[in-house]
Structure 1
Amino acid sequence: MNVLFDNCTSPVLATTLHGFIQHFGHAAYHIKDVPGLSNGRHSADLEWIDLLRRSPDEGMFISGDARVLRNPAERAALRSAGLHGFILAAAYQKTPLHQVAATIVWRWPDISQVIRLVAAPSMHEVPIGRQTKLRQLSV
């Protein structure tokens, strides 16, 4: 499983999660470090969605921006790509980075379970509270 963090997230989150999940055979990357994107960090959402769709490896993404679900072209691309996506709740914007990283690692078992149990395409919101369940969003 490859996890892509989009440009609305800090590269620190990808590095932190990668350190935690690599021993499971997974990898996490920030968009700035993904080979194959012509514009790197400044790639449009449609570009990285297409890159994940074409990848032979199973992929998912984590974003800090729910607008990806409001744009009709991006929403259609997500549906056709068959991806699992996780949107960080708005409360993450005001949360210190070390707490965001800790919460994503804390939530990794929940995220993994969703990927195993729910057919792609799927979209979920990751709440800031550790006792709150992931909330399914419509794709």
Structure 2
Amino acid sequence: MKVFFDNCTAPVLASTLHGFISHYGHSAFHIKDVPGLARGRSAPDVDWIELLRSAQDTWIFISGDGRILRNPPERVALRSSGLHGFILAPAYQKNPMHMNAALLISRWPDIEQITQILSAPSMHEIPIGKSTKLRALPL
């Protein structure tokens, strides 16, 4: 499985998660490092959603922007994409980056489990609290 981090996340989250999950045969990429995006980091959401949808590999994405679910073009693209998406709770913006990276790694088993038991497309929020479960979001 490959994990895509959009522009609303810090590149350090992708590289930190990659260091952890690469031992399990997975990989993580920030949008700036994904080959095949014509406009690179400036690619609109619908472009990277289409790239992940059409890829032969299994992709999930992590975003720091919940507005992706409120914009009609992105929402339509997500519904037809067959992707599992995870949105960081707004509280991540107030947290130090090293804590966000640690929380994301601690949530990896939950993320992996959701991708295995639910069929895509699905969306979930990754809460800041360690004892709080991932919350399903309407798609």
TM-score class normalised by the smaller sequence: over 0.9
Letter in 2 for 1:34: V
User: What's 1:21 paired with?
Assistant: 21
Which structure 1 segments of 5+ residues have no match?
Answer: none
User: What's 1:78 paired with?
Assistant: 78
Measure the CA separation in 1 of the matches of 2:72 and 2:44: 14
User: What's 1:90 paired with?
Assistant: 90
> What's the secondary structure of 1:68's corresponding residue?
helix
User: What's 2:46 paired with?
Assistant: 46
Q: CA RMSD in A?
A: 0.4
User: What's 2:68 paired with?
Assistant: 68
Measure the CA separation in 2 of the matches of 1:95 and 1:43: 27
Query: Residue deviations 1:36-93, cap 9 Å, x none?
Result: 0011111100000000001000000000000100011100100101100000000000
TM-score, scaled to structure 2: 0.99
Which structure 2 segments of 5+ residues have no match?
Answer: none
Q: Percent identity?
A: 65
> What's the secondary structure of 2:75's corresponding residue?
helix
Alpha-carbon shift at residue 137 of structure 1 (Å): 0.2
Measure the CA separation in 2 of the matches of 1:65 and 1:104: 16
Question: How many residues get paired?
Answer: 139
Moved over 4 A (4+): none
> What's the secondary structure of 1:136's corresponding residue?
strand
Measure the CA separation in 1 of the matches of 2:120 and 2:109: 18
TM-score, scaled to structure 1: 0.99
Letter in 2 for 1:68: I
